[in-house]
Structure 1
Amino acid sequence: MSRIPSKSLNEYPWYVRFFLKRQRRVYGEILAPSLLWGRLPGAFVGMLGLLGIFNSKRYPVDGRLRSLVSIRIAQLNGCHFCVDLNAYNFLKARGDEARAAAVADWRDSALFDDAERAALDWAEQVTERCAAIDETAPGRLREHFSDDEITGLTAWIGFQNMSAKFNAALGAEQHGFCDLRQQSEDR
């Protein structure tokens, strides 16, 4: 149960209700974070705009890699909703269930390639200790990614941290897309 109750649908502005009704058609129900973000209509619309940019075909980081690092960010922030949704998105983007389940153990798993390891390491550094980022990290990233891709990956990591922290703090319930909750403990 979310720590902040949702409003009745008619209390949300029409454009938020439009999105919530569309979400119900797509997912079978309105997702808890949308009801929470909907309390801040301007921020909600801004967030949806950013998601549109991140999900464009021209964005420099593909959806599979974004979803993979998002699972790890969600695990580190204790956002079970985000682990659930991002594991689902990873599988939709042609990721495999074994890697989705092994994200918490990426350092010791042979399932991840060098580019994924560099991205996951960067995601952990930005999430856990941004002020003390290892100076060699950008060099390791450049072995696999262009400067535009690194910038895009970092923007995505920042966005996912905001989202995961918001959802975890307010107790957004998981939807049941892809249950990797047992993997969400910080290791």
Structure 2
Amino acid sequence: MPRISAVSPKDAGAIIKIGYRMARKQVGEVPEPFAVMAHHPKIFVASARHELALQKAMQVVPESLVELAVYRTAWTVGCSWCVDFGAMLQRLNGLDVDRLKEIADFETSDKYTDAEREVIRYADAITSTPMGVTDEQVASLVDTYGEKGVIELTYQISHENQRARFNHALDITDQGFGSGDSCRVPWIAEEASKVT
């Protein structure tokens, strides 16, 4: 249970209810971080707009590499919610989700390509404290993806650090997206028990 409870639809204002409907349409359920953030409608709306704009802005780096970097960042920070959601996104994109079990051994695992290893190393360098990004890393990524691509990758990894740390701080844990059984938000269980 998160340190701050989720706002149920019956307690939500009109804008939050619209946001909940859009989230259900997009991912099949209301993500719990979204429902916790609903306590502050202005941040809720700002976050939702930002996420939608970010999705549209990503055009250079292959989505599979971005998702892998974001997943590794969430895994490193220790955000089980983000790891769960990231696994779902990779599964929905037709990627090999089983290889994520070997993310700790990405350097030696045959499940990862050289390009994936480079992106994971970059995610690790950004996420470490103090940050460990080198000139050589950035130059190599610029050679492959261009400056625009490095901006995308850096922004996504940095943004995942923000999301993962927000969720981890508020003890928002996995919701079952990765398994396809997303039902941990409290009012979902209440609604299901009323139906049966």
TM-score by length of 2: 0.81
Q: Report how far residue 16 of structure 1 moved.
A: 1.5
Could you say which residue in structure 1 is the equivalent of 2:146? 146
**1:56 match: secondary structure:** helix
Pair 1:64-2:64 in alignment = yes
Pair 1:3-2:10 in alignment = no
Pair 1:165-2:165 in alignment = yes
Q: How many residues align?
A: 179
CA distance in 2, matches of 1:162, 1:57: 18
CA distance in 2, matches of 1:67, 1:170: 23
Q: Which runs of 5+ in 2 are unaligned?
A: 180-196
Q: Which runs of 5+ in 1 are unaligned?
A: 180-187
Could you say which residue in structure 1 is the equivalent of 2:183? none
**More off after superposition, 20-29 vs 39-48:** 20-29
What amino acid is aligned across from residue 177 of structure 1 in structure 2? F
What amino acid is aligned across from residue 154 of structure 1 in structure 2? T
CA distance in 1, matches of 2:102, 2:17: 37
Pair 1:89-2:85 in alignment = no
**1:109 match: secondary structure:** coil
- Distance of aligned partners of 1:117 and 1:129 in 2 relative to their CA distance in 1, 3 Å threshold: same
CA distance in 2, matches of 1:91, 1:169: 27
CA distance in 2, matches of 1:37, 1:106: 34
Q: Report how far residue 26 of structure 1 moved.
A: 5.3
Q: Report how far residue 10 of structure 1 moved.
A: 4.1
What amino acid is aligned across from residue 60 of structure 2 in structure 1? P
Which has the higher Rg, Structure 1 or Structure 2?
A: 2
Question: Does the CA contact (< 8 Å) of 2:73 and 2:157 recur in 1?
Answer: yes
Q: Report how far residue 43 of structure 1 moved.
A: 2.0
Could you say which residue in structure 2 is the equivalent of 1:184? none
CA distance in 2, matches of 1:9, 1:163: 23
Q: Deviations over 1:115-169 (max 9, x none)?
A: 2111111111111135442232112223422110000100111111100100111
- Distance of aligned partners of 1:40 and 1:59 in 2 relative to their CA distance in 1, 3 Å threshold: farther
**More off after superposition, 137-146 vs 161-170:** 137-146
Q: Report how far residue 25 of structure 1 moved.
A: 5.2
TM-score by length of 1: 0.84
**More off after superposition, 101-110 vs 162-171:** 101-110
CA distance in 2, matches of 1:164, 1:32: 13
CA distance in 2, matches of 1:154, 1:47: 19
CA distance in 1, matches of 2:54, 2:113: 23
Could you say which residue in structure 1 is the equivalent of 2:112? 112
RMSD: 2.1
What amino acid is aligned across from residue 13 of structure 1 in structure 2? G
What amino acid is aligned across from residue 45 of structure 1 in structure 2? V
